[in-house]
Amino acid sequence: MNIHILGAHNCESQNLKLVSLLIDDTIAIDAGSLASSLSLSAQRKLKAILLTHQHYDHIRDVPAIAMNFALDGATINIYSIPPVYDNLTTHLLNGELYPKFLERPEGKPTVRFTLIEPYRAERIEGYDILAISVNHTDPTVGYQITSHDGKIALYTGDTGPGLADCWGYVSPQLLITEVTAPDSYEEFARRNGHLTPSLLKEELTVFRELKGYLPPVVVVHMNPRLEKEIEAGIAAVAKALNNSIKLGYEGMKLDL
């Protein structure tokens, strides 16, 4: 399994992109920078987009991807939970801001949306997918993705503390999660459903107690203004837990 981090931040600028992951060139998780990071031919290789939640930094490029598929007469499969469907159809692809790509063209809409249920195993494009519920300000799911050769990666999406309930359902060989802010922002992080290095440490400690191991960890969704402080905090956590924990970056490629 090859995982390409297209966007690793919660803000966008010339060189920083919103969160998007690309797996084996065909499955995307989140679409914050999916169109802006991929050529048209790379976009056409996409078979499915899994969305974690409705926030703009995770769905931003859905309209652009849909337009590119529409102009090619192609269909893109999107999977997520009901609130994401509702927000896409109500606010983005609503016939006012942009075309109703979930309904048009009639009979063969450009976007084929499938609702996902947490903890119900799905087979999507040859991968076993398990959505898990995480703690964020709005309903959010992470995705465990298992390839046909048994490689397992888990991406939590945006999440605050309290992942212990999820750990029993997953066995990742690689964990991609979020650390939005440094320890000095712990109150902000708790209030807004995000992690700091110390809050991540607590989650990983529980994981190790429950599962008896820790996978390598890559963190994304950093606030770039606070990245130096986050990086120092992550280095300390990696040392304390004696585990590989790295900051993701745009263009990072991970092989499983």
CB of 54 to Zn ion, least distance (A): 8
Examine residue 57 and tell whether it contacts Zn ion (CB under 5 A).
yes
Cβ proximity to Zn ion: between 53 and 151 the closer is 53
Sign of the Cα pseudo-torsion (12, 16, 20, 22, in order): positive
Cβ proximity to Zn ion: between 8 and 254 the closer is 8
Which residues have a Cβ under 8 Å from the Cβ of 173 and sit 6 or more positions away?
A: 151, 152, 153, 215, 216, 256
Which listed range, 69-77, 125-133, 148-156, 158-166, lies at the site for Zn ion (CB under 5 A)? 158-166
CB of 240 to Zn ion, least distance (A): 26
Among residues 201, 178, 158, the alpha carbon closest in space to that of 248 is found at 178
Examine residue 158 and tell whether it contacts Zn ion (CB under 5 A).
yes
Examine residue 55 and tell whether it contacts Zn ion (CB under 5 A).
yes
Cβ proximity to Zn ion: between 55 and 60 the closer is 55
Q: How many CB atoms lie within 10 A of CB 86?
A: 11
Cβ proximity to Zn ion: between 158 and 229 the closer is 158
CB of 181 to Zn ion, least distance (A): 12
Q: Which helix (H) or strand (E) holds 177?
A: strand 174-178
Cβ proximity to Zn ion: between 20 and 146 the closer is 20
Tokens, residue 165: 């309930």
Q: Identify any residues that bridge with 55 across adjacent strands, giving them in sequence order.
A: none
Tokens, residue 207: 């994981």
Residues in contact with Zn ion, counted by CB under 5 A, come to a total of: 3
DSSP letter assigned to residue 30: -
CB of 20 to Zn ion, least distance (A): 11
Binding site for Zn ion (CB under 5 A): 55, 57, 158
